[in-house]
Amino acid sequence: MDQTKAQRQEKIVEILSLLHQGGSFEEAKEMFNQEFDGIDVTEITAAEKALIQSGLAPTEIQKLCNIHAAVFKGSINEIHRSDYEHEQPGHPVAVLKLENQVLQSLLTDEVDDLLQKIKTGDWSQKERLLSALTDLKQIDKHYARKETIIFSYMEKYGITAPPKVMWGVDDNIREMLKELITYLDSSKAAFNPLFEKWTALKTEIEEMIFKEEEIMVPMTLDVFSLADWEKIAADSFDIGYAFIPEPLPWKASEKAKASEIEREPARQIAIAQAKETTDGIAAGLELTKNMEESITSNSEIIGLPTGSLQLKEMVAIFQVLPVDLTFVDKNDIVRFYSEGKSRVFPRTNSVLGREVINCHPPKSMHVVQQILDDFRAGVRETADFWIDMKGMKVYIRYFALKDQEGEYLGCLEVTQDITKIQKIEGQNRLLDE
């Protein structure tokens, strides 16, 4: 059926709206099959963006995300490119797919097999199952790389709706896995509830694999440049990898760079399509490059009200501070983070220029925004939180920054692992050395 772009978009929104209003999957699938022979991932994300702009919460889209994917599964148009650099070992896409391959094997060959043995009454497999599910927790690094690095580039190119929805699903998977392990480790564990929890978790993980490889990857390959992918590959080492050894560093080949010049017009068209799905490209795409170019010498003297420091001295100070610092400017854009030896939360240069609320899971976005709004309005000057994470007690503090005239300059986030500090007793004086 011949349709204009606007008509196609209107029909896709109609199909998704039907689902969100309680319509059946079969009805939506039939409507799609009657109207479309195929669909591009940009059309799906544009429709989800339109629903968000119409007032539907991202969490509501998240609830039906699997159904969205199922409606369009098998109909997403294959994208033909002039090179297949993304299939080379070490490319972030190749790494993501390799992790997913090992992840799928862990789900079906390990956990499913152990559950079948437990189903027969062989509960001697419980410890092996606990170990396998503990191994599955590595998925956090897989998701963290996607959320921290890939999502930031998607947002800078104007692709904002998919990251919000996918991050929410990632967090659900993390929570479901945590609850499953807690239940299995309890004395009340029984097979039927255990199997139900596992089936729900496995379904979410497998659907996320589909969304990553069939929706997110084609979309990003369309708009990201080889330079983007090189930076993503380099930054990925800071966060780490799941289920696989650390890959070899990847750099684009000369052949790929030549092919990129040929397909640049097509990339610009893809970028323009991405722009149409949002209010505009996020600021700061070239921020890191500009910052690097602005630093001409490590001997540069920086004058401060209480003294002066060489640039290399200031960098060294930030590197040894026992706290992680992140500065967010008055427009809520991340402009700086300190590089400690063991950061509590991972940071890479891809976070620079990103809206800070997009650096947080969807369920906490409104809290972060409220804090920033309160700082701007002068309602409060600080906000403190503390959480238990991976055996650490983490203390997180936010401070409103203002100039001498009281004008709001931005927010400073200070994060610290205070586990050892809480255990301090007595004294350890300088004279005791």
Q: Has domain 85-276 been given CATH number 3.90.1150.10?
A: no
pLDDT of 295 reads 41
Residues 6+ apart with CB under 8 A from 272: none
- How far apart, in whole angstroms, are the C-alpha atoms of residue 93 and residue 221? 9
- Tell me how far CA of residue 182 lies from CA of 164, 179, 393, in angstroms: 28, 5, 20
Closest CA to 165 of 307, 243, 335, 49: 49
Strands 392-402 and 382-389: antiparallel
pLDDT of 317 reads 87
Segment holding 393, helix H or strand E: strand 392-402
Domains 85-276 and 287-422 share a fold: no
- How far apart, in whole angstroms, are the C-alpha atoms of residue 214 and residue 211? 5
Q: How confident is the model at residue 285 (pLDDT cuts 50, 70, 90)?
A: very low
Grouping H, G, I as helix, E, B as strand and the rest as coil, residue 270 is helix
Q: How confident is the model at residue 46 (pLDDT cuts 50, 70, 90)?
A: low
- How far apart, in whole angstroms, are the C-alpha atoms of residue 197 and residue 189? 11
pTM: 0.63
Rounded average pLDDT over 178-207: 94
Most confident of 36-45, 79-88, 142-151: 142-151
- Asked if residues 399 and 411 have their Cβ atoms less than 8 Å apart, the reply is yes
- How far apart, in whole angstroms, are the C-alpha atoms of residue 131 and residue 138? 12
More confident residue, 277 or 222: 222
Share of the chain above pLDDT 90, in %: 43
Neighbours of 210 (CB within 10 A): 16
pLDDT tens digits for 336-369? Answer: 998 877 788 877 777 888 888 888 888 888 899 9
More confident residue, 349 or 290: 349
CA pseudo-torsion sign 153, 154, 156, 160? negative
- How far apart, in whole angstroms, are the C-alpha atoms of residue 145 and residue 207? 18
Map 395-417 to HEC letters.
EEEEEEEECCCCCEEEEEEEEEE
Q: What DSSP letter does each residue of 326-389 carry, written as one string?
A: EEEETTSBEEEE---SS-SS---GGGTTSBGGGGS-HHHHHHHHHHHHHHHHTS-SEEEEEEEE
CA pseudo-torsion sign 68, 208, 239, 227? negative
Closest CA to 57 of 339, 269, 263, 365: 365
Segment holding 310, helix H or strand E: strand 307-310
Burial of 150 from C-beta contacts in 10 A (0-12 / 13-18 / 19+): buried
Q: How confident is the model at residue 234 (pLDDT cuts 50, 70, 90)?
A: very high
Q: Which CATH class is domain 287-422?
A: alpha beta
Question: One-letter amino acid identity for 184?
Answer: L
- How far apart, in whole angstroms, are the C-alpha atoms of residue 254 and residue 319? 36
The mean pLDDT value of the chain amounts to 82
Given a cut of 60, whether residue 246 has pLDDT beyond it is yes
Least confident of 68-72, 174-178, 394-398: 68-72
Beta sheet of 392-402, edge-to-edge order: 334-337, 324-329, 408-417, 392-402, 382-389
Share of the chain above pLDDT 70, in %: 82
Domain boundaries, the chain: 5-72, 85-276, 287-422
Residues 6+ apart with CB under 8 A from 271: 157, 158, 223
Rounded average pLDDT over 310-328: 87
Q: How confident is the model at residue 77 (pLDDT cuts 50, 70, 90)?
A: low
Q: How confident is the model at residue 112 (pLDDT cuts 50, 70, 90)?
A: very high
- Tell me how far CA of residue 327 lies from CA of 298, 330, 362, 410, in angstroms: 22, 10, 21, 7
Residue 397 β-bridge partners: 384, 414
Rounded average pLDDT over 127-154: 94
More confident residue, 254 or 311: 254
Neighbours of 279 (CB within 10 A): 10
Rounded average pLDDT over 288-301: 49
- Asked if residues 108 and 207 have their Cβ atoms less than 8 Å apart, the reply is no
pLDDT of 40 reads 64
pLDDT tens digits for 379-406? Answer: 999 999 999 988 899 999 999 999 988 9
pLDDT of 205 reads 95
* First-residue to last-residue Cα distance in the chain: 83
